[in-house]
Amino acid sequence: MTIAVLGSINMDITAYSDRLPRPGETLHAHRYLTGLGGKGANQAAAAARLGSATDFIGRVGNDHFGRSAIEQLQKFGVVTRHVSIDPGNSTGIAIINVDRNGENFITVVAGANFAIDETDIAGAADCLETTTVLLLQMEVPWPPMLLAAKRARAKGAKIILDPAPAPAAGIDLDLSFFDIITPNETETEILTGIHPHDAPTAAAAAKQLHRRGPQVVIVKLGSRGAYLSTPETGLHVPPFKVEALDTVAAGDCFNGGLAYALSKGMDLVPAARFASACGALSTTKYGAAAAAPTLSEVDGLLSRA
Name the active-site residue from 162, 252, 267, 299. 252
Which residues, other chains included, contact 97 with Cβ-Cβ below 8 Å and sequence gap of 6+?
14, 15, 17, 20, 21, 29, 104, 105, 106
Q: What are phi and psi of 220, to 5 degrees?
A: -80, 120
Determine the Cα–Cα distance for residues 245 and 286; give it in Å rounded to an integer: 7
Is-catalytic flag, 120?
no
Which residues, other chains included, contact 2 with Cβ-Cβ below 8 Å and sequence gap of 6+?
52, 53, 54, 55, 127, 130, 131, 132, 133, 263
Alpha helices by DSSP H, listed for 140-263, are 142-154, 185-192, 199-210, 250-263
Which residues, other chains included, contact 226 with Cβ-Cβ below 8 Å and sequence gap of 6+?
218, 219, 220, 236, 237, 254, 272, 275, 276
Sort strands 216-220 and 226-229 into parallel, antiparallel or unpaired. antiparallel
Determine the Cα–Cα distance for residues 293 and 259; give it in Å rounded to an integer: 14
Q: Which residues are catalytic?
A: 252
